[in-house]
Amino acid sequence: MPRPPLPPDIDEFFRRPNPAVVASIRSNGTPHTVATWYAWDGEHVLLNMDEGRLRLRFMRRNPHVALTALDEKGWHRHVSVAGRIESIVEDGGLRDIDRLALHYTGQPFGTRDRRRFSAVVAVETWHAWAGAGPWRPNRSSTANPTRHD
């Protein structure tokens, strides 16, 4: 899959520790949304969850997910991505959750006695909205050759 076409200003925003919401799909086809931490490496989104989280079960059953990152100064500026889970692996050494915790809080993750799992999302489409901000309203694209600006 080609690299998602995120322009530099949107890529920079998406790399920040923004408040975010992830959507997965329940077995009955309805969406399940929850606040989450994430990390963006320019191609993939890293998510991490406790073994008991419903979204882990839903992601294992259906790999389609979406994530919206909101600007902490105002929800009207946001980036949304959608894609597929490429992998779900146990975070045995808690390396991934520590990476996310350091990104968001500056401290390693505090709870060390529960199994955790990391999901890597390959981004297929994106959408950015800035209202009156520096991004053009309703700027979006897909990871295929067709681009809509």
DSSP 130: -
The pLDDT value recorded for residue 74 is: 84
The pLDDT value recorded for residue 135 is: 60
SS3 56: helix
Q: How far is CA 13 from CA 63, 64, 65, 143, 145, in A?
A: 25, 23, 20, 19, 23
Of 48-52, 107-111, 113-117, 127-131, the range with the lowest mean pLDDT is: 127-131
Query: Does residue 44 have a pLDDT over 80?
Result: yes
The pLDDT value recorded for residue 7 is: 87
pTM over the 0.95 mark: no
For the segment 87-109, what is each residue's pLDDT rounded down to a tens digit? 999 999 999 999 999 999 999 99
Give the angle 71-72-77 at the CA atoms, nearest 5°.
25
- Categorize the per-residue pLDDT at 46 as very low, low, confident or very high, splitting at 50, 70 and 90: very high
**Phi, psi of 115, deg, nearest 5:** -70, 140
**Average of per-residue pLDDT values in the chain:** 88
What stretch of H or E contains 54?
A: helix 54-61
CA distance 25 to 10: 26
Q: Are 23 and 38 in contact (CB under 8 A)?
A: no
Neighbour tally for 62: CB within 10 Å: 15
Query: Does residue 131 have a pLDDT over 80?
Result: no
Going from the N-terminus, what domains does the chain have, and what CATH number goes with each?
Answer: 8-132 (2.30.110.10)
